[in-house]
């Protein structure tokens, strides 16, 4: 869903506005994240987490009904020879903007075949595709790692000067003896506040991210934010106060959100129309793999070796930073490609 909406926005926006408008859409992602945290702080302590899941499913059901109001990409319709549908979409947009369609005809070469998986591994795009896949996997791994690690840190109360890891281990041992499957304790109101503050971080670097994307370029901007993400993962190991921990989590959430903004834009821009959805789709699949691996590191490995888990997250981010810096194509200021 996220990839689809971004592709549509990318194909409707002019080149000069893509680097500004796409990161700004992160505000709605942030709003959803804050809403679910606020909802959890009210629902979980009162009627339980199952009701939280039920309530959180409602917007998804509404969204299914709203899909029919989303126009199909005019670029896609033109590439398949359906110029009438493309014209109808553009006329609808012109009417909404109180403008008039320019005179002339829509003329674009009709693609004889749609994008195939093999096209992504064609000699022209092979290196780009492989490096994009590495970056997507790593960014997703880091993003969900930060979120789950935040909950783990708060749950285990590992702020310097509070309960130590050894005390947590003792607690776990006691609970294991009592046959309890979980050592978890309920979040306090202060824990929810910490989650809200750190989540707000996802929008904190948006102005700098927009400047970086538009002036430094997609590749350099991404390599810088990925390198900084690695640094802040390592800084989590520093003995600090509760405020310090919140600050580190705040910056980490800001950086991982900036990473996602940039790779979304780059992936949508680097592939031609025939391959764009396929490129985003396969990248999204790698993204899910990173999301699936993250819990094992941020919760299982972190329980055994806190520093080991942080070093692994940081190492993956460094690999992604190098991969971003060496991407063969810079898409800043480049028009969307129609054909290969």
Which residue in 248, 244, 251 sits closest to 160, CA to CA?
A: 244
Question: What distance in Å separates the CA atoms of residue 160 and residue 244, rounded to the nearest whole number?
Answer: 10
Return the H-helix or E-strand segment holding 73.
none
Q: Which residues of 199-235 are buried (b: 16+ CB within 10 A; e: fewer)?
A: bebbbbbbeebbebbbeebbbbbbbbbbbbbbebbbb
Closest CA to 226 of 329, 139, 335: 139
Give CA–CA dist 67/1, Å, rounded.
Answer: 11
In this prediction, the residues of the chain whose per-residue pLDDT falls under 50 are 161-182
Q: Give the angle subtended at the CA of 257 by the CAs of 255 and 260, to the nearest 5°.
A: 110
CB-CB contact of 235 with 307 (8 Å): no
> How many Cβ atoms from other residues are within 10 Å of residue 182's Cβ?
7
- From CA 141, how far away is CA 331, in angstroms rounded? 24
Provide the residue ranges of all domains of the chain, joining segments of one domain with +. 115-161+187-339
CA distance 76 to 78: 5
pLDDT at residue 179, as a whole number: 42
CA distance 265 to 263: 5
Supply the pLDDT for residue 261: 84
On whether the 115-161+187-339 domain is CATH 3.40.50.1110, my answer is no
Residue 3: how many other CB atoms lie within 10 Å: 20
Distance separating alpha carbons of residues 217 and 331, to the nearest angstrom:
8
Please name the helix (run of DSSP H) or strand (run of DSSP E) that holds residue 271, with its range, or none. none
Q: In 3-state terms, what secondary structure has residue 70?
A: coil
CA distance 98 to 297: 53
* Tens digit of each residue's pLDDT (9 = 90 or more) over 273-295: 778 778 888 888 888 888 888 88
- Would you give the DSSP letter of residue 333? T
Q: To the nearest 10°, report the CA torsion of 303, 147, 189, 204.
A: 140
Give backbone dihedrals phi and psi of 124, rounded to 5 degrees, phi first.
-70, -30
Alpha carbon 229 to chain centroid, angstroms: 14
pTM score, two decimals? 0.70
What is the per-residue DSSP string for 137-166? HHHHHHHHHHHHHHHHHHHHT-STTS--HH
């Amino acid at each position: 869903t996220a990839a689809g909406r971004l592709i549509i926005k990318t194909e409707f926006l002019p080149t000069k506005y893509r680097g500004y408008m796409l990161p700004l859409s992160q505000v709605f992602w942030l709003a959803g994240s804050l809403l679910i945290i606020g909802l959890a702080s009210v629902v979980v302590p009162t009627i339980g987490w199952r009701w939280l899941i039920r309530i959180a499913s409602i917007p998804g059901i509404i969204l299914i009904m709203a899909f029919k109001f989303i126009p199909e990409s005019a670029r896609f319709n033109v590439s398949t020879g359906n110029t009438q549908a493309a014209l109808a979409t553009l006329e609808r947009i012109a009417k909404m903007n109180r403008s008039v369609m320019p005179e002339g005809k829509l003329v674009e070469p009709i693609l004889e075949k749609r994008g195939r998986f093999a096209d992504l591994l064609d000699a022209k795009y092979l290196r780009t595709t492989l490096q994009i896949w590495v970056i997507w996997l790593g960014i997703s791994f880091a993003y969900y790692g930060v979120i789950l690690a935040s909950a783990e840190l708060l749950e285990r109360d590992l702020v310097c000067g509070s309960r130590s890891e050894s005390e947590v281990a003792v607690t776990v041992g006691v609970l294991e003896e009592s046959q309890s499957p979980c050592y978890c304790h309920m979040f306090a109101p202060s824990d929810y506040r910490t989650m809200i503050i750190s989540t707000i971080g996802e929008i904190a670097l948006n102005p700098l991210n927009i400047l970086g994307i538009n002036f430094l370029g997609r590749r350099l901007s991404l390599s810088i934010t990925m390198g900084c993400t690695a640094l802040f993962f390592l800084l989590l190991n520093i003995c600090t106060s509760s405020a310090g921990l919140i600050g580190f989590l705040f910056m980490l959430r800001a950086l991982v959100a900036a990473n996602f903004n940039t790779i979304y834009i780059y992936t949508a821009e680097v592939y031609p129309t025939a391959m764009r959805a396929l490129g985003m789709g396969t990248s999204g699949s790698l993204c899910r793999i990173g999301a699936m691996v993250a819990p094992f590191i941020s919760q299982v490995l972190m329980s055994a070796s806190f520093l080991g888990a942080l070093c692994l997250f940081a190492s993956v981010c460094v690999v992604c930073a190098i991969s971003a810096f060496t991407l063969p194509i810079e898409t800043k200021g480049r028009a969307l490609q129609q054909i290969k």
